[in-house]
Each structure stands twice: as C-alpha cells, then as structure tokens.
C-alpha cells in the first residue's frame, strides 16, 4: 500500500524520471501531478481504479502497461500520446469504433484487447504492429489481421464455447515467427497458409479432428510446438483423435515438443523424425499406455518430462525395470510424476 502523500513526493520530486513501475503497489488513484513527469518513457500500473486526465501530458511515453480490474479512462486519451510503442491493457478492455487509433502510428505492441467493432476501422491502420494479442474474435478480425504483414507474434484467445474464425492465409507474413491460438479452430490452416518462417506454435483447445502432425511436421523452421488442453473437464483438447504419427523426415528443426492430449491412445514416431529434438514434455495423456518405439532413435533428446500419465505407462518406463525403459534410457534428464 502506497499512501498518497508519499506518492505525491515521488511524482513531484523526480522530474527527470524515465521509468515508473508500480507493479504490486496498491493504488486507488494517481495524483494529477503525474502529468508533470514529461520525460517518462515507461509506466506500469497495477491494481488501479482511476487515472487522471493529466496522464495524456506524458507525450514521450513509449510503454504503457495498465493491468487492473477497473479503471476510469477513455482510450481516446491514450491516442493523444502518439509516441506510444507498447500498449498493454486490462483483459476485457474494449475500444470504441470511434477511437482514433490510427494516430498511434508508432504502435508495435497491442495487448490484450477485445476484438470489437473498432477492428474494421482501426486495426489495419496500425501498420507497424509487431506483437498483437486479442480475444473474442469475429470474422472481420481475421481479415484485418491478415493485412498486418509486419507481425512477429500473434496471440488469439476465445471464450468457452466460442471459436477462432477461419483465416485467409498467413503466407505473406514473412516476419511472423510465433503464434498462439487458444480456442476451437473453425478451420485448421493448410501447409501453404502458415507463415513460412514460423518457429513457435501453441495450439490450445483447438479441437482439431484430423492428425495435425502431417501438416505441422512439414513447417521448415518450426522449433517449438505445444499441443495443450484448454480445460480438461470440458474435453477441450487441441487434437480430438486417438492416433498421432510423426513421420520420418518430419519436424527437421523441432527442438521442444509439448503434448497434453487426454484423448490420445497411440503415438507413433518413425525413425528419422524429429532429428533435433532436445526437450519432450508429455502431460495428462491419460489414455496413452505406451511411449513410441521411435523415441529410442531420437538421440538428441536431453530432457523428458512425464506428468499425470496412466499407471500402465509409468510402470513400463520405470528406470532399469520397466519393459519400455530401453526407449528412453539414453535421455540424460527424465522427470517422472511426483511420487513415482
């Protein structure tokens, strides 16, 4: 808890301050004098309920991190701070379709905003966006996102029961290297629709019906892949099938693989698949009773993590005793479930 008199001293006494990080400081309001720290470049406010209008005087502000349950401020005011490069807003924050977002021509980071009516009029004008995180997408959102060809990182999140709309293509996004899609996909991307230089992909609760590995293993630069459940009690897996295959010659650059699929029964890894894999995490695959034979050929593996697995599998990979121990004995670090 930071009392207002002390906060006033901090604000008034440091006119040349460049960085103010009030993370984990309990505040109900900021003094109007905050607008006098005109050299401020970075401002982070946590657990804040109200902002003064004078904050718009921070004309040199480049990073504005606002995370709080409630705040009393129009986003129109933020658009007056035209030097902002990184804008991180509270979850659920909406932007009016009349907000002059196009003024933020320097904006590179925008998180976490609701995909509302402002998308059609404002998103594609943010041509310098590098990092975008949005939730509650609509079809108009997907069309506008595909026009942001300078994106490097894209995170899309839906609420339970909603889906991520189909995309046209990301083939023109040469700089897009990281994607996180959380929610059911209306359509899984074809190989030619993925960004060519994609290196990191997280699929969470995608509910894909066909084995996605046949497509993903052909991505030439993919190094990190995670297939995760969104909510295990609601059967929100990324892949709803029971069999998964990693083919020989697939995933040539993959280094980290995380699988969390409660429906998976059989996983086959052919010899020659994932020749550069370093870390493998298998979590909550309750129906998987046997590890793939092909893992013994992945000699680059340095770490294996097994968590919340079937008892039958745990017994089969027991160190020096289990019938399948030979498949993983070459791995230097093996982390077993607690109590195993």
The pLDDT, as a whole number, for residue 78 is 80
Q: In this predicted structure, what is the pLDDT of residue 121?
A: 65
> How far is the C-alpha of 184 from the C-alpha of 187, rounded, in Å?
9
The encoded tokens of residue 190 equal 């074809």
pTM of the model: 0.90
pLDDT of residue 73: 54
Q: What is the DSSP string of 178-197?
A: EEEEESEESSPPPGGGS-TT
Under 8 Å between Cβ of 129 and 108: yes
Buried (b) or exposed (e) across 208-230, using 16+ Cβ within 10 A? beeebbebbbbbeebbbbbbbbb
pLDDT computed for residue 131 by the predictor:
96
Q: How many Cα atoms are found within 13 Å in the side-chain-facing hemisphere of 77?
A: 13
Q: How would you write the pLDDT of the chain (340 residues) with one tens digit per residue?
A: 777 777 777 777 888 999 999 887 777 777 888 888 999 999 998 766 667 888 889 999 999 998 775 555 567 778 888 889 999 887 767 676 777 777 888 999 998 777 766 776 678 888 899 999 988 776 656 778 888 889 999 999 887 777 888 887 888 899 999 999 999 998 898 999 999 999 999 999 999 999 999 999 999 999 999 999 886 555 688 999 999 999 999 999 999 999 998 889 999 999 999 999 999 999 999 899 999 999 999 999 999 999 988 889 989 998 888 899 999 999 999 998 654 5
Question: Where in the chain are the domains?
Answer: 207-340
The two beta strands, 163-164 and 178-182, are unpaired
């Amino acid at each position: 808890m930071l009392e207002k008199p002390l906060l006033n001293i901090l604000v008034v006494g440091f006119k040349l301050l460049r960085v103010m990080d009030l993370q984990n400081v309990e505040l109900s309001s900021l003094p109007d004098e905050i607008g006098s720290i005109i050299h401020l470049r970075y401002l982070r406010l946590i657990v804040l309920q109200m902002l003064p209008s004078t904050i718009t005087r921070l004309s040199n502000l480049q990073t504005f991190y606002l995370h709080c349950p409630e705040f009393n401020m129009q986003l129109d005011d933020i658009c007056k701070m035209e030097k902002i490069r990184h804008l991180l807003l509270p979850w659920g924050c909406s932007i009016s379709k009349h907000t002059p977002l196009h003024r933020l021509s320097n904006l590179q980071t925008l998180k976490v905003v609701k995909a509302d009516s402002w998308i059609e009029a404002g998103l594609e004008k943010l041509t310098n966006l590098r990092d975008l995180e949005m939730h509650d997408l609509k079809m108009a959102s997907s069309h506008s996102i595909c026009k942001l060809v300078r994106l490097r990182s894209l995170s899309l999140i839906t609420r339970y029961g909603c889906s991520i709309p189909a995309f046209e293509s990301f083939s023109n996004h040469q700089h897009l290297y990281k994607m996180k899609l959380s929610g059911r996909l209306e359509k899984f991307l074809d190989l030619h629709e993925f960004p060519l230089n994609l290196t990191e992909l997280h699929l969470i609760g995608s509910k894909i019906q066909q084995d996605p590995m046949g497509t993903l293993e052909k991505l030439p630069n993919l190094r990190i892949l995670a297939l995760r459940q969104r909510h295990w009690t609601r059967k929100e897996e990324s892949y709803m099938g029971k069999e998964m295959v990693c083919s020989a010659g697939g995933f040539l650059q993959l280094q980290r693989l995380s699988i969390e699929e409660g429906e998976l029964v059989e996983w086959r890894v052919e010899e020659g698949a994932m020749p550069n894999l370093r870390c493998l995490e298998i979590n909550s695959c309750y129906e998987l009773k046997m590890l793939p034979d092909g893992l013994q050929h992945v000699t680059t593996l340095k770490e294996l993590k097994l968590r919340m697995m079937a008892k039958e599998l745990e017994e089969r990979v027991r160190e020096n005793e289990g019938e399948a121990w030979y498949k993983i004995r070459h791995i230097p670090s093996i982390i077993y479930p607690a109590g195993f």
